[in-house]
Amino acid sequence: MFKIGSPALLTLLALTLICCEEPAQPAGSGEGCDQLMTPCPEGTSCALDSIGNPFCASDPPLITPAGSDAPLSGVSGGGSLGGVSGAGEAGEAGEAGEAGVGVSGGSATGGGASSGAEVSDCQGFQTSLKPARGSAAEVMLVVDRSYSMVNSEDRWTPALEAITQVTQRLEEGVSFGLTLFPDPIETGGDLSELSQCTSWGRGQFSCEEDIAACAPGRVVLEPALNNAMSVQALLATHRPLPDLGTPTYSALQTAGERLLESARGGAKVLLLITDGMPGCNFAIEPTTCICLTPAPFFCELDSFAAMCLDDQQTTAEVTRLAELGVQTVVVGLTIGLPEEGACIDGVSCPFGGQGCVNGRCVNLAPSVLSEMARAGGSPTGSYYNVGDVSELSEQIAQAAGGFASCTFDVSTIPESSYHALTVYVDGEVVPPDEGRMNGWWAEAGQLELYGEACASIRDGQSHQISARCE
């Protein structure tokens, strides 16, 4: 396989994406191939273009002649040709890869930009399709790194592996960013929190430690395409540490505001991955709150407001962001919840995150996380429940995959040739549908999938999406 952006791939595209010229002739070891600097990579062989220059052609060719029965090739994961661009700063490389492969003046371009004359006849080529510029969803991963992620059971390692797998599958069509909470760079907090904390009777030194453990979440990676490796590296170097709390409210607020600052047109999504319920609100009275720590009466006896359930403020923030256009999707690792039982003296519960409901201690995590998901406009109407770490990858994939773009760039293909296109999803033909109900339709440089065709690529897996002119 060619490495994206490699000179060999650029040469191949530049010399083969010419619809109407004489096709290259194989020349495995013929005259002219000895001019190649290095042997052709596996899966390719030397060929000569129409004027005798050697290059490494894919086997079978990436671009098939008109009328050929050769199988589709060179198509992968929503388009392996993403990121090939003639312009753009390094920081925008992923963005440039959103557009499809350009066929213009005999050169390959990214971002849908043309250089030279537009092709006048599209017959004789097939190409992978890339999401149209601005259509890729911005998904900010908001990841809980509180100590409970590694304390009684290692949930962090499976979470890191699952997030890595999912972002690798979807990175060409979804712009992933990363917010970690608590803040991986310890902050001192503000004086208002210190005053609130000490007002309940907790000592100043203990309150300062509590505030540091509840440092608001920090955006450590801006949303962009092809961010999987960066996400993995940041998670690997910012593991949970002892005594870290769960400031979910501030993390969602920080991440949501960052998405609102973006001028991109795709969906804006917060994907919260947490193993617990929100805390770290020092304004909640610890003597009457629902305590998140499993130690009996810890909040009440030690004035530990940081461990009080902060569901109301957090849900209100999720609602506010939803009204502004930022959805919140919740993946909850509800693993190892305490056993439910009768309330103590009919009013109290000894375990973390349990509430006394009709005389029985009930785990509140499912109801609180579901309420947050509903407030955030989750497509499923509930949170994604992970009862076992083996389910984590699938649940994150479903949550993130639901926002894969169904709009693709065809700006380099003349509108007069749209009728000649055949569109494939994973090698299966998708029928055109002018009614835009179930199939595809192209207009003004964009091709969109509708109905089952769109739903089929939103399962969290990588898909091969291509178009061929026949």
Domain boundaries in the chain?
A: 7-131+406-469, 137-401
End-to-end alpha carbon distance in the chain: 26
Rounded CA-CA distance 444/112 in Å is: 12
Rounded CA-CA distance 56/421 in Å is: 27
Do you know the residue count of the chain?
470
Q: Sheet of 428-430: strands edge to edge?
A: 126-128, 465-469, 421-425, 428-430
Q: Sheet of 137-144: strands edge to edge?
A: 218-224, 174-181, 137-144, 268-274, 326-332, 384-385
Structure tokens at 198: 């000490």
Rounded CA-CA distance 290/311 in Å is: 10
Q: What angle do CA 179, 185, 188 make, to 5 degrees?
A: 115
What lies within 8 Å, CB to CB, of 38 at 6+ separation is none
**pLDDT given for residue 15 in this prediction:** 37
DSSP reduced 3-state for 131: strand
* Angle of helix 311-323 versus helix 365-375 axis, rounded to 10: 20
Nearest to 314 by CA among 231, 362, 256, 259: 256
Rounded CA-CA distance 348/288 in Å is: 10
**Contact indicator for 101, 17 with CB cutoff of 8 Å:** yes
| Environment class of 159 (CB within 10 Å of its CB; exposed 0-12, middle 13-18, buried 19+) | buried
Nearest to 395 by CA among 385, 407, 404: 385
Question: E strands, 213-287, where?
Answer: 218-224, 268-274
Nearest to 176 by CA among 236, 100, 232, 239: 232
| Confidence (pTM) | 0.72
Tens digit of each residue's pLDDT, the chain (470 residues): 434 444 443 343 343 333 333 343 443 444 555 655 456 656 556 665 444 555 555 443 333 333 333 333 333 333 332 332 333 333 333 343 333 333 333 333 333 333 333 444 566 678 888 888 889 999 999 999 999 898 878 889 999 999 999 999 999 889 999 999 999 886 666 778 899 999 999 999 999 999 999 999 999 999 999 999 999 999 999 999 888 999 999 999 999 999 999 888 889 999 999 998 999 999 999 998 999 987 767 898 899 999 999 999 999 999 999 999 999 999 998 887 888 889 888 778 877 889 888 889 999 999 999 999 999 998 778 899 998 888 888 999 989 999 999 999 998 888 888 988 999 999 999 999 999 999 999 999 999 999 999 999 999 888 989 998 87
**pLDDT given for residue 470 in this prediction:** 72
Place of tokens 């020349």: 27
Q: What angle do CA 204, 277, 259 make, to 5 degrees?
A: 95
**pLDDT given for residue 40 in this prediction:** 62
Rounded CA-CA distance 109/14 in Å is: 9
Q: Phi then psi for 280, rounded to 5 degrees?
A: 70, 30
**pLDDT given for residue 103 in this prediction:** 33
Q: Which long-range contacts (CB under 8 A, 24 or more apart) does 147-154 make?
A: 147/240, 147/241, 147/242, 147/243, 147/244, 148/240, 148/246, 148/275, 148/276, 149/240, 149/275, 150/239, 150/240, 152/336, 153/335, 153/336
**pLDDT given for residue 373 in this prediction:** 95
Structure tokens at 265: 């047109």
**pLDDT given for residue 62 in this prediction:** 35
Structure tokens at 131: 């999401």
Cβ atoms < 10 Å from Cβ of 377: 18
**pLDDT given for residue 320 in this prediction:** 98
CATH topology of domain 137-401: Rossmann fold (3.40.50)
Rounded CA-CA distance 146/182 in Å is: 7
